Amino acid sequence: MSIGMREQFAVTVTDILEDDLSTALVLADVSARFFPEATRRHPDRVINVGIREQLLVSAGAGLAFTGMRPIVHTFGAFLVERAFEQIKLDFDHQDVGGVLIGSGGSYDWPAGGRTHMSPGDVALIDTLRGWTVHVPGHAAEADVLIRDAVAGSGRVYVRLAGDDNAAARRVGSGRTGRFDVVRRGARASVVAVGPMLDPVLKATAGLDVTVLYAATVRPFDRSTLRETLAEPDVVLVEPYLAGTSTREVADALQDLPHRTLALGVGTPDLRRYGEPHEHSHAHGLDAAGLRESIGAFLDVPSRAA
Amino acid sequence: MTTTTSLASVDVDVRRPELGYGDLDALMSLMTGDEKHGPSATSTLDVLWVLYDRVLNVTPDTVDDPGRDRFQLSKGHGPMAYYAVLAVKGFIPVDWLATFGRYDSPLGHHPDRVLVPGVEISSGSLGHGLPLGVGTALGLRAQGLGSRVVVLVGDAEYDEGSNAEAVAYAGAIGLDNLTVVVVDNSSSTHGWSDGIERRFAVEGWEAVRVDGRDHAEVTLALRGHPEGRPSVVVAHVENKEG
């Protein structure tokens, strides 16, 4: 039984803080309970500003001004959406590096309602340029990608979610940013992002398609998409706002007549509560929904028919 | 060889070994094209001059020194006085001033730290400097660097709620390497009843109000800062720009 991504984040970052004196963790109450030991050992480098997200992001950037590597964390909704101008100006425009780690996925806690959902986070980060965006699909991948992000000097957003794939894929070790070729087929290429891999594999069982796994979506690995492309049909399956990476596919295949099916979170505010799997179903992101959409795109009858 | 920069019949002789406070008016006119634009028309000028002349431990040779003092101009509007002071102190060439606001000038109507040596933060959107200053002070403290951070904000800029986040937090943790200068020219639309310094004092800051034109008063207030808590100096100036 693997631990969840957020617990893994705590273990990984605690370890990083111990080893690398140039790192600092900035929190806004969320997840602070995971860091009692690190807070005791490194009181100057584990910084909890309280429920103040503008300060959270700006203080992270201020730490970077002094040569430190900030790790800034809260729920994605409050990290990226509430304090977006702070990300845009205090990291991007000031031209300093940092690692932003958002948790909560698109709807990890749907009973909390729209306020705690952030399907638009990656699209919003994508209005900036030059960011690296990791969407790990397993706790073990989160460990590797967070370490990779902190070891660098750029601007990185790591998106953690509650759901994960049964097994970790190989990421990092020089492979960071490359799509993983899960299987090859003669028809469409299906790009499964992070936690979408297991439902995609289930949905495409028996279909003659290529499945690419993306734990990193920015930069978008256009070359692997091109190199493995059989038919110029691409299905994007993203666990956040549908169509977030359509632009990338269009650019990768700009010289080629092609079709794209972009699956992801549709209507951001369903005004429904319940459990995550109910929302995956509502957005057509469970295996059955994906099978139906992909089957229709490929003109393949659904298994039930 | 050009040794004199002229604009709007203002001459600044850059051969002079030492420019000083008395040259700021002429230097600012290089940017505004207005020769009658006296120093008193710019609310931040005297505070900026005192900071760079008498308070901050930073020179053109130490702009990348990890141990330098950091000055962060949060109120980036109207940066002519700032650029003029940076020119007098040798951070930027005097002949940059006449390019103010042009397409390829390093000097915009809001400063850019990437383009201008000695500028610590890019500003323009209000309410970013103080939270950035908190992070900078935390970073210096975490690395055992004894230098300080001074952030200049305007009294109208304080309307932005991000400042309140920073003031409450810095006060709560006693961030004593952080000093804020509020240049108060009563420009906030709804004002600050009983003085803006109260917003800081209730959060545990050392707060003092001075005459923002009195160099001796400003110097004294900015040189001394208490241990164990952050400090704010409210520099009051009359708003002569109306």
Domain residue extents for chain A: 5-159, 180-297
Higher-scoring residue by pLDDT: B83, B12: B83
Residue A103's pLDDT is what? 97
Res B11 pLDDT > 70: no
Residue B41 has pLDDT above 70, yes or no: no
Find which of B110, B143, B147 to mutate to test the A interface (most A CBs within 10 Å of its CB).
B143
CATH 3.40.50.10140, applies to A5-159: no
Whole-number pLDDT of residue B137: 98
What's the mean pLDDT in A185-202? 98
Chain B residues within 8 Å of chain A (Cβ atoms): 66, 70, 113-114, 120-122, 125, 127-128, 131-143, 145, 161-162, 165-166, 168-169, 172
Of A9, A234, A4, A267, the C-alpha closest to A119 is A267
d(CA A273, CA B131): 35
Q: Are B138 and A62 an interchain contact pair (Cβ–Cβ within 8 Å)? A: yes
The reported pLDDT for the residue numbered B1 is 36
The 10s digit of each residue's pLDDT in A11-39 is 999 999 999 999 999 999 999 999 999 99
* pLDDT mean over A179-204: 98
pLDDT at A3: 82
Tell me the pLDDT of chain B averaged across its residues.
91
At residue A304, does pLDDT exceed 70?
no
Verify whether the Cβ–Cβ distance B166 to A62 is below 8 Å: no
Shortest Cα–Cα distance, B76 to chain A (Å): 13
Mean pLDDT of A256-260: 98
SS3 call for A32: helix
Question: Is pLDDT of B242 > 50?
Answer: no
Q: Flag whether pLDDT at B36 surpasses 90.
A: no
Peptide bond before residue A110 is cis, with ω within 30 degrees of 0 = no
Domain boundaries, chain B: 43-78+102-236
| Confidence label for B16 from pLDDT (cuts 50, 70 and 90) | low
pLDDT for residue A286 is more than 90:
yes
Query: Any CB–CB contact under 8 A between A51 and chain B?
Result: no
Q: Are A64 and A98 in contact (CB under 8 A)?
A: yes
- Per-residue pLDDT tens digits for B192-206: 999 999 999 999 999
Cis peptide before A219 (omega within 30 of 0): yes
Query: Looking at beta carbons, which residues of chain B come within 8 Å of A68?
Result: 139, 142-143
Looking at residues B42-46, what average pLDDT do you find?
93
Type of residue found at A83: A
Per-residue pLDDT, A177: 87
Question: What is the CB-side half-sphere exposure of residue B65 using CA atoms within 13 A?
Answer: 15
Report pLDDT for A302: 62
Q: Are A242 and A222 in contact (CB under 8 A)?
A: no
B113, pLDDT greater than 60: yes
Pick the CATH number of A180-297 from 3.40.630.10, 3.40.50.920, 3.40.50.2300, 3.55.10.10: 3.40.50.920
> pLDDT of A137-163, one tens digit each?
999 999 999 999 999 999 999 999 998
Q: Is the pLDDT of residue B8 over 90?
A: no
Q: Is A238 on the interface with B (CB under 8 A)?
A: no
The per-residue pLDDT for range B140-176, each reduced to its tens digit, is: 999 999 999 999 999 999 999 999 999 999 999 999 9
User: What distance in Å separates the CA atoms of residue B44 and residue B82, rounded to the nearest whole number?
Assistant: 8
Is the CATH code 3.40.50.970 the one for domain B43-78+102-236?
Answer: yes
Q: Is A45 on the interface with B (CB under 8 A)?
A: yes
Tell me which residue of B240, B208, B69 sits closest to B151, measured CA to CA: B69
pLDDT for B32: 84
Considering only the beta carbons, identify the residue of B113, B140, B162 that sits closest to A66.
B140
Residue B7, pLDDT above cutoff 50: no
